[in-house]
Amino acid sequence: MRIAFMGTPDFSVDCLKALAESEHEIVGVFCQPDKPVGRKQELTPPDVKVEALRHGYEVFQPVSLRGGKGVEILEKINPDLVVVVAYGKILPDDCLNYPKYGCINVHASILPKYRGASPIHYAVLNGDSETGVTVQQMDSGVDTGDILGVKKCVIGENDTTERMYEVLAPLGAELLMETIDLIEKGEITPVKQDEALASKVGLLTRDMSSVDWTRSAREIHNKIRGLYSWPGASTTLNGKTLKLHSSVLSNEKGNNNPGEVILEKGRLFVCCGDNSCIELKTVQLEGKKRMDAQSFLNGCKIEKGTVLGK
């Protein structure tokens, strides 16, 4: 099958690698334009572009697919199928309708739950015990197309968003190849999404980072692992920002003073709103390096009764 691939970040690379190792012909790879990165603002190619060039594929980086610009490229490379994985652009109808088998999308949730830009983050933020990947036949809506296949996996109590990216990327590649095989054989059975179960999630923002210690210990723990590694959860300590990189739930009991620290043999506990605690495992004070709690406490004297977030 002649396949065009559309994707941009690292999450997309596993799917591109799987296609590259298959018998299918990759006729072109689309990704977002190169962007300036870091303090020096060096123009940097997306991860998908790097992988595509490694295989010698032709790369297209249009600013927009609208106004016939996208379908003009498709007409030149003539794919039977377009595979989309975290591309970051909306495909107009002329692109969706061009290929023989249409366009399929690998989405990192169990659709119709968590349609939109940040499905992995919200599964962790909401404390879900399960997530997965869905391959859907794309239509003009956002993640609203018929479901072609699903694979599920467990989210552990301490799994972070970053960890789930590592789990879901290869799972998505596996499901993608199985789905393409069924499409080729004419054995695919599309399933309509249940709109009653649909939910939408948007992009994350930096203003989500601040921790509200009046929330329950589990909610705060989910926030810390759900926002890792970007934008990250944070609080304040004596007027300085304290980034919270990792935590675990604790059997330690609180004292009805949310945000108050409890120190115990080099361990750092914080009281939460439900009168229980979380234990902070890895933190980073403003202007300092990231470190484990014991190392942090060895170098930073915290007075008894100190309350975070004030």
State residue 295's pLDDT score.
96
**In which element (H, E) is residue 180 found?**
helix 161-185
Model confidence pLDDT, tens digit, residues 38-84: 888 999 999 999 999 999 999 999 999 999 999 999 999 999 999 99
Residue type, 197: L
CATH number of 206-299: 3.10.25.10
Phi and psi of 68, rounded to 5°? 85, 0
Record the tokens describing residue 245, joined without a space.
Answer: 């990189």
pLDDT tens digits for 100-123? 999 999 999 999 999 999 999 999
pLDDT digits (tens, 9 = 90+) for 168-177: 999 999 999 9
Supply the pLDDT for residue 93.
Answer: 97
pTM: 0.95
One-letter amino acid for residue 59 of the chain? V
Instruction: Average the pLDDT over 229-251 and give the result.
Output: 97
Looking at the chain, the domain(s) classified CATH 3.40.50.170 span 2-201
CB 80, CB 2: distance < 8 Å = yes
β pairing state of 130-137 and 147-154: antiparallel
Q: Where in the chain is the domain with CATH 3.10.25.10?
A: 206-299
pLDDT of residue 254: 85
> pLDDT tens across 181-197, in order?
999 999 999 999 999 99
- Pick from 137, 103, 142, 108: which is nearest to 5 by CA? 103
- Cis before 190? omega within 30: no
The share of the chain scoring above pLDDT 90, in percent, equals: 95
DSSP assignments along 263-296, one per residue: EETTEEEEE-TTSEEEEEEEEEETTS--EEHHHH
Could you please state the CATH topology (level 3) that the domain comprising 2-201 is classified under: Rossmann fold (3.40.50)
SS3 at position 144? coil
